[in-house]
A and B are shown apart, each in its own frame.
With several copies, the nearest count.
Chain A
Amino acid sequence: MNKVVANLAEAIRDIEDGARIMVGGFAASGGANNLVQALIEKGTKDLTIICTGSPEWMPFVENDRAKKVISGFTSHSLRPEITEVIETKVRAGLLEVETVPHGILSERIRASKAGIPAFYTPIGVGTVFGEGKETKLFDGEECVLERAIEADFALIRGHFGDRLGNLTCRFVARNRNTEMAGAATVTIAEVEEVVEVGDIDPERVDIQGIYVQRVVKAPKIVKWLDGHEAV
């Protein structure tokens, strides 16, 4: 068993137009920036991007590769001019957006990974986030039914990885990487370092190899929330 592939292009070889893609990361931490860049270079389009916010969907939206963005932040939290650009695209029918609360998106992704087709939550009741959803009372509290969200590929970032697909994550780089691993048909992980089997402490495996199909070594790229890259 060897899940390590030679390069980024091989890692994303079978991602085709129209695919549904989960992208890990939260602000500057844990983004699969190399895999995303490789996918932009490949020219794959009409993608549905499921992610935390602008750092993950920006490359796809800027390059007109996204058909739809499902995210906690479909606006840009720091740059109003980018928000205006996105809003204009949406009004022109060039882009579809679905704004989903961070934690509900997280739970829907985890549900997909965990074989839970749907769950109830009070989050969103009485707002646009609960609109049009089935409701049910639990102990007198109104709840809405939320569905698991699936994808064809998950692009995630780890720190160390081995050929069995076991990964560690640094500090808050865990963020959405842990939930997305295993929530898509194929999970592809870029890692800072490929280590020998046995090098990762069994108690420090943050993402178990069972959820990961491919591992590729790629340098850490840090993009701060305002868009500038770390030196």
Chain B
Amino acid sequence: MALRVAKELKDGMYVNLGFGLPTLTSLFIPEDIDIILHAENGMLRYAGVIDDETQADADLINASGQPTSLLPGAAVFDLNESFTMIRGGHLDLAVLGAYQVSETGDLANWQLQGYHVGGIGGAIELAQGAKRVVVAMEHTDKNGKPRIVKQCSLPLTARRCVNTIITNLAYIELEGAGLVLKEVAPGITPEEVQANTEPDLIISEDLSEMEF
């Protein structure tokens, strides 16, 4: 999944990889192109996670709080500047995790049903501010229920913001006509994807197998 997300990254893009799973993608970025990763806590052009804590610098962490390092051409700045970048539409792409995505592109990724507390963080600004929003998530929840739904039952992060959904089963684009299934994971049939998806999928005429 992270590998497929990495394929979305093109030379010259400014990209934010949201909290949790999507940060893994930073490990799979091709080395021969300039992808500028943005961390909402105040970095542009950072590198992968440092696993050895004795090598970690707490003042060089990504938005998930993990130690990282700066690449040549990096910049550090404060949170307000960081969200000026996000809200002002300066990011080409945001990759976010999700609990649910609706067929109209509504995103729910911050709070569980019935809770008063929750972690919205910068997800709402990334969802509304980035030029393109890709959701990367498991296709179904831990009980096997679809995460791609007709209407989100969980509290929304933002309305009509998702452009693309990448899961362990499929690559789906949200277009005017609806949810278009563009790619399936190796060994997965379009019928299996549909069976695990609540709204009806439109099967793309040039449906292909996911490449990494």
Measured CB to CB, the residues of A under 8 A from B are: 1, 26-30, 52-53, 72-75, 77, 83, 86-87, 90-91, 97, 99-104, 106-107, 110, 112-116, 121-129, 162, 164, 166, 169-179, 182, 197-198, 200, 202-203, 205-206, 208-211, 222, 224-225, 230-231
Contacts and interface: CB of A to CB of B under 8 A. Distances in A.
Interface in B9-50: 11-12, 14, 19, 34, 36, 38-45
B72 interface: yes
B78 A179 contact: yes
A175 B117 contact: no
B134 interface: no
A29 B117 contact: no
Contact of A162 (B73, B81, B118): B73
B119 A53 contact: yes
B129 interface: yes
Interface stretch (B151-159, B169-177, B196-204): B151-159
Closest 5 CB pairs of A and B: A198-B72, A103-B83, A27-B65, A115-B87, A225-B65
Nearest to B159: A126
Interface of B: 11-12, 14, 19, 34, 36, 38-45, 53-54, 56-61, 64-65, 70, 72-91, 110-111, 115-125, 128-129, 155-159
Given A87-B115, A123-B128, A225-B65, A29 B59 contact: yes
A171 B116 contact: no
Given A102-B83, A126-B159, A171 B36 contact: no
B73 A209 contact: yes
A26 B59 contact: no
Q: Is the interface of A mostly helix, strand, loop or mixed?
A: loop
Nearest to A226: B65
Given A171-B59, A172-B43, A230-B58, 10 more contacts: A73-B118, A99-B118, A101-B124, A102-B120, A107-B80, A127-B158, A171-B42, A174-B79, A209-B73, A210-B38
B158 to A, nearest CB: 6
B80 A97 contact: no
A112 B77 CA distance: 19
A166 B57 CA distance: 24
Contacts of A179: 78-80
Contacts of A103: 40, 79, 82-83, 86-87, 122, 125
B87 A126 contact: no
Contact of A202 (B41, B53, B74): B74
A194 B116 CA distance: 42
A212 to B, nearest CB: 10
B99 to A, nearest CB: 13
A116 B60 CA distance: 29
Contacts of A211: 85, 90
B36 A174 contact: no
Given A174-B76, A202-B74, A127 B124 contact: yes
Contact of B121 (A73, A110, A166, A231): A73
- Among B14, B85, B115, B116: residue with most chain A CB under 10 A: B116
A30 B86 CA distance: 21
Nearest to A179: B80
B84 A113 contact: yes
